[in-house]
Structure formats: C-alpha cells, structure tokens
Amino acid sequence: MRRTTGIALLAGGIGAAAAQPFPAAGTLTPQQLQGRNLFNQSCMVCHVKLQITSPAKYGPDLSGKALGGDEALMREVISNGTPNMPGFKYHFEPDQIDAIVAYLKALPAPAPSPSPPR
Ligand code: HEC
C-alpha cells in the first residue's frame, strides 16, 4: 500500500515536470489526446527541449500558431517533411495526422524568448 503510493507520487512528479508547458490532459478532446500521444512518440525528440540540461532543440517550438496557424500547411509539413524534417505520410494514417494537428492547435504559443534570435 505505502509502496504503491510512493511510486504513484513519483510517476506523477515526472509526468508533471515533463508535461508542464502543455495543456492539462483533462482539457483535451479524445482526438487531441491521441495526437498528443503520437506527438510525444514521434515529434518531441526534435521539437521539445525536455530538460534545462538537454542539448538545443533541433526543430522549432510548435504551437497552434506554427505556420501561421494554417492547419492545411501543418498537415502538408507533417506528411511530406521539409529539407530538415522527415515526412510522416507513410508512418501515420491521415486521421492520425489530423489528430496531431488538432493537438498542435491546442498548444499555446511559447513566451517570446529574452535571448536574441540565433
Ligand atoms: C528529425 C527531427 C524532427 C522530427 C522527428 C520532427 N520534426 Fe518537425 N521540424 C524539424 C525541423 C528541423 C523543422 C524546421 C524546418 C526545417 O528546417 O526544414 C521542423 C518543422 C516543423 C513544423 C513547421 C514549424 C514552423 O513554424 O515552421 C511543423 C508544424 C512540424 N515540424 C511538426 C512536426 C510533427 C507534428 C512531427 C511529428 C510527427 C515532427 N515535426 C517531427 C525537425 C523534426
């Protein structure tokens, strides 16, 4: 009983730390939750800086404002990739890409960085 509680608290702590910049699970629709899972599996590695000690991100921060908030363009970039990003059209079904786009739309734009642009 005690041990279970400890593990649950620990897991909660890790989840909370990693999920901080993201909307709480309870505010997401089932489609956005599906998109979040796919995003965490396939996109986070390049698009999210998980810890202060992580090396610089490879891709830009993503939010509902990415690509001017244009959902069709987001689908296009995710499907076909860019010179520096792999395309996912053979990896995901169209409804999975829709779910990822729905999740991206739920992400708030990051606060402007105080450091000068690279
Ligand atoms: C291998 C690293 C990598 C992975 C994995 C990756 N991306 Fe990217 N992504 C990039 C880079 C780098 C860019 C910047 C465009 C460029 O330089 O070509 C980018 C750009 C984007 C953009 C356009 C952002 C903008 O403001 O221009 C979107 C949207 C995007 N990625 C979504 C995704 C999604 C969704 C996934 C997962 C399905 C994903 N990316 C996986 C590296 C990656």
What pTM does this model have?
Answer: 0.81
* DSSP letters spanning the chain: -HHHHHHHHHHHHHHHHHHTTS--GGGS-HHHHHHHHHHHHHTHHHH---STTSPPPSS----TTGGGG-HHHHHHHHHH-BTTB---TTTS-HHHHHHHHHHHHHSPPPPPPSSPP-
Kindly state whether residue 12 falls inside one of the protein's structural domains.
Answer: no
Question: What is the tens place of the pLDDT at every residue in 47-59?
Answer: 988 888 888 889 9
Q: Note whether residue 114 is domain-resident.
A: no
Is 38 inside a domain boundary? yes
Residue 93 maps to a domain: yes
Q: What is the CATH number of the domain that holds 37?
A: 1.10.760.10
48 belongs to a structural domain: yes
How far does residue 13's CA lie from ligand 1's centre (Å)? 28
Q: Find the domain containing 102 and state its range.
A: 23-106
Where is pLDDT greater, at 99 or 17? 99
Q: How many domains does the chain have?
A: 1
**Confidence grade of residue 115 (pLDDT, cut at 50, 70, 90):** low
* Cα–Cα distance for residue pair 117/21, rounded to 1 Å: 21
Say if ligand 1 is within 6 A of residue 105 CB.
no
Choose the residue to mutate in 34, 44, 47 for probing ligand 1, maximizing ligand atoms within 8 Å of C-beta: 47
Q: How confident is the model over 70-111, as pLDDT tens digits?
A: 999 999 999 999 999 999 999 999 999 999 999 999 999 877
In this prediction, residue 12 carries a pLDDT of 41
In a domain, 117, yes or no: no
> What pLDDT is attached to residue 113?
64
Percent over 90 (pLDDT), the chain? 58
Q: Report if residue 45 sits inside a domain.
A: yes
Instruction: Compare 113 and 110 and report the one with higher pLDDT.
Output: 110
Contact present, 64 and 107 (Cβ < 8 Å): yes
**Quick check: 17 pLDDT over 50?**
no
In-domain check, residue 42: yes
Q: How much is the pLDDT for 2?
A: 54
Q: Is residue 28 lining ligand 1, measured as CB closer than 6 Å?
A: no
